[in-house]
């Protein structure tokens, strides 16, 4: 019984707050709204300044090691176009290390569990090639594909982002679904 009263109290309190906000918004006249100057956007900080977050400046971004490895991908966005629902949609993102040091990939992950990358675990030496294999599960995911793959490494691009896009065509509906109570053969 206490839970019911507590729930009703919270609900009525929320309604009162919303109603008070509505009254406050309707009390200002159009002339008052026009007289209020719009705040001017502040220019972004220079790299040496850092950003201000919560009133405290953040440290400047780390400097890029010009001698570090550098990814050079054949493509950073792959368009699958139309793929059927069911089988995996797979693609290999091929790259070359155009930097001066080996690239060591420490982690790669998709933006959801349906996007699974695999990567080389050995260092990719300068001027050598490697690939990131990405498998997207289409089963039960009809519609647009728009997923990101994040690669963490010691390369200049930290993190390196890759993307897959496309459209999953739904499976055709079964024209003869089993009748209720009749097991399928």
Strands (E), 102-159: 105-110, 115-118, 129-137, 143-153
Q: Is residue 116 part of a domain?
A: yes
- Residue 64, in any domain of the structure: no
In a domain, 66, yes or no: no
Q: Is residue 121 part of a domain?
A: yes
Which DSSP helix (H) or strand (E) runs through 24? helix 2-27
- Residue 60: the pLDDT is 65
Look at residue 10 and give its three-state secondary structure. Answer: helix
Please indicate, yes or no, whether the overall pTM of this predicted structure exceeds 0.85: no
Domain span including residue 87: 78-126+133-169
Rg (CA), the chain: 27
Q: What are phi and psi of 15, to 5 degrees?
A: -65, -40
Asked whether residue 1 is assigned to any structural domain, the reply reads no
The reply to whether 175 falls in a domain is no
Find the CATH number of the domain harbouring 82. 2.60.40.10
Domains contained in the chain, number: 1
- Long-range CB contacts for residues 109-112, cutoff 8 Å, separation at least 24: 109/149, 109/150, 110/134, 110/136, 110/147, 110/148, 110/149, 110/150, 111/147, 111/148, 111/149, 111/150, 112/147
Residue 83 covered by a domain: yes
Tell me the β-bridge partners of 133.
Answer: 92, 118
Question: Could you tell me how many helices (H) and strands (E) the chain has, helices first?
Answer: 2, 10
Is 95 domain-assigned? yes
Q: From first to last of its 185 residues, what are the pLDDT tens digits of the chain? A: 666 655 666 666 566 555 655 554 455 555 555 555 555 555 555 544 555 556 666 666 667 788 899 999 999 999 999 999 999 999 999 999 999 999 999 999 999 999 999 999 999 999 999 999 999 999 999 999 999 999 999 999 989 999 999 999 998 877 676 667 665 55
């Amino acid at each position: 019984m206490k839970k019911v009263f507590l729930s009703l109290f919270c609900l009525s309190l929320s309604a009162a707050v919303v109603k008070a906000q509505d009254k406050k918004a309707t009390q200002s006249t159009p002339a008052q709204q026009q007289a209020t100057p719009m705040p001017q956007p502040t220019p972004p900080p220079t790299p040496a300044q850092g950003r201000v977050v919560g009133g405290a400046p953040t440290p400047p971004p780390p400097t890029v090691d010009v001698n570090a490895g550098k990814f050079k991908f054949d493509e950073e966005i792959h368009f699958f176009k139309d793929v059927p629902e069911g089988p995996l949609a797979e693609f290999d993102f091929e790259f070359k290390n155009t930097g001066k040091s080996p690239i060591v990939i420490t982690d790669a992950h998709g933006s959801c569990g349906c996007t699974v990358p695999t990567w080389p675990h050995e260092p990719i030496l300068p001027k050598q090639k490697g690939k990131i294999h990405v498998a997207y599960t289409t089963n039960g995911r009809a519609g647009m594909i728009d997923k990101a793959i994040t690669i963490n490494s010691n390369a200049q691009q930290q993190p390196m982002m890759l993307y897959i896009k496309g459209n999953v065509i739904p499976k055709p509906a079964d024209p003869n679904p089993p009748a209720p109570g009749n097991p399928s053969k």
